[in-house]
Structure 1
């Protein structure tokens, strides 16, 4: 089997993105800026209440591998859809990017997952996710040869919501480490961290995970502190390899032992939609890391990819990221 830069494992979700104001969020009792799990009835209600929408394949890890290949990397994906129309759309979209995707679809109920994403005028996104077929992802969906062929296997913290996915991740991590590969995770969401804080810390401290991606709010939640330096120190102590913390307009910090590498954010004239910013940061960093670039250059690639994605609607690049001037300058610099 061909070697891949990154294999991502995640919830295969079709995003349904619409604009709204804060009053709509209040009227629908939607938590602003987070991800809320909803049932099928709530999904139907919100779909009927929201305005005109754009439908696009999404899911955190799916977005990351899409960004990775847009930067010129090679990627594969594992995630469960149903054998329905949305599932066919998701599979077509991710394969059309050049991503290897062979996870067998679920036949019958539940249907493919979807996330109603409401974007307010400040660019903040509030996600309301029906997991659908995602909950059926299990160890039998892990392709051992594919995991062994990937330099890094990366998974999203959101996978801790569907129960059998935990077993799948632990199995994948064992295969990766036996093959001399690395495992990375993103903490995904501060609300997700609050739900699974002890389990996430165990994944790190046990060495199941080598590399951790987090934003500032997630890092603070993980260590139950309001002190950023304390959270960084905790990550330094608990990660087997290193951790990366994104800080929105403050850029990011790479934490490895006693070292702290800070990289500033790009200046973006107008934020359109923050959906996928963290996912695309991971795309850029992992592209640089698997190329053998320094942490500083890898972080700059992450910042460039994230800075670009927030200038458009939706989390998938609409033009090749490898063609961006700021990306080219990093590759040749």
Structure 2
């Protein structure tokens, strides 16, 4: 048995969550519903304009790893923070969930700071993310430890992490170490604009290395341009062993070989859509690592997504296993 069921690699970010009306987005020059990369000056300016806010450890893959840990999975995370206040918050929160986190801190002397995402949540629950990457952009090849990747059943790669000077090489090192030791690779496309920036690199990785692809409808359509949704699903499924595509209130589509399942969404009141895809992936990966059928993995994913969007923050507040059991899933 390997030490880890899943090791995630991504942007180590602290989320700064605030509520505002749509008019605020227009006045502040924020494009609704997407992740925009910003610099330090823009981060400071936006922070001064938003209303009361909560600081919560985030980052897409880190949220997924935290969810797996909360479910009792054996898991670890790789992502860069600085030896500063936000960096300490990030590390503490992740370790408190039960995940291993040992990435070397950027020193206090580094001119950049720990990354943060200023997330403005509008009344419809949609989140608009304004992300300053800071030191997490500079995750190095040397931060990828071969032994850790070799000791993982799965690695989980965050598409957002492709924005960085050594990112592609770092991912390649992780993939080679994991697959060389018999492990498997999962990838989340993260965001349609992320796909636009890295489509060719993503496509090569998907075709050559990815066993399990996570995406939502918009990301899938951005990746497979010119195809309608059904054809895009079929094309993606032909390139990976398993495709898990979420579709908002329409649930999720799971495809593997010639099999396909549609899993309905679970009813909930949307308070903050942040983390829906992250928590779907956490339950899905936990399910695969514990030998559940793919349809059940999708059901657990949709239950987890429904839980996380029912409150502020991108990490679950309820016991997910209890929620699974209430829906008739034996865990």
Q: TM-score range by the shorter chain?
A: over 0.9
- Higher mean alpha-carbon deviation, 77-86 vs 139-148, is at 139-148
Length, aligned pairs only: 329
State yes or no: 1:8 paired with 2:8: yes
How far off is 1:75 after superposition?
A: 1.0
User: 1:64-83 maps to which residues of 2 (within 5 A)?
Assistant: 64-83=64-83
Separation of aligned partners in 2, 1:263 and 1:2: 30
State yes or no: 1:279 paired with 2:278: yes
Q: Cα gap change, 1:226/1:51 in structure 2, threshold over 3 Å: closer, same or farther?
A: farther
1:110-150 deviation per Cα after TM superposition (whole angstroms, max 9, x unaligned): 11000000000000000000000011101100121111111
1:179-218 deviation per Cα after TM superposition (whole angstroms, max 9, x unaligned): 0000101000011111111111110112x22211000010
Partner of 2:125: 123
Partner of 2:212: 211
Partner of 2:224: 223
- Higher mean alpha-carbon deviation, 142-151 vs 291-300, is at 142-151
How far off is 1:95 after superposition?
A: 0.7
Scaled by the length of structure 1, the TM-score of the pair is: 0.96
User: 1:102-117 maps to which residues of 2 (within 5 A)?
Assistant: 102-107=102-107, 108-117=110-119
Secondary structure class of the residue paired with 2:329: helix
State yes or no: 1:331 paired with 2:304: no
Q: Is the CA contact (8 Å cut-off) linking 1:152 and 1:183 kept in structure 2?
A: yes
Q: Cα gap change, 1:327/1:297 in structure 2, threshold over 3 Å: closer, same or farther?
A: farther
1:285-333 deviation per Cα after TM superposition (whole angstroms, max 9, x unaligned): 001000011100111110110010010100012233223254673135x
Unaligned runs of 5+ in 1: none
Scaled by the length of structure 2, the TM-score of the pair is: 0.97
User: 1:154-169 maps to which residues of 2 (within 5 A)?
Assistant: 154-169=156-171
Partner of 2:42: 42
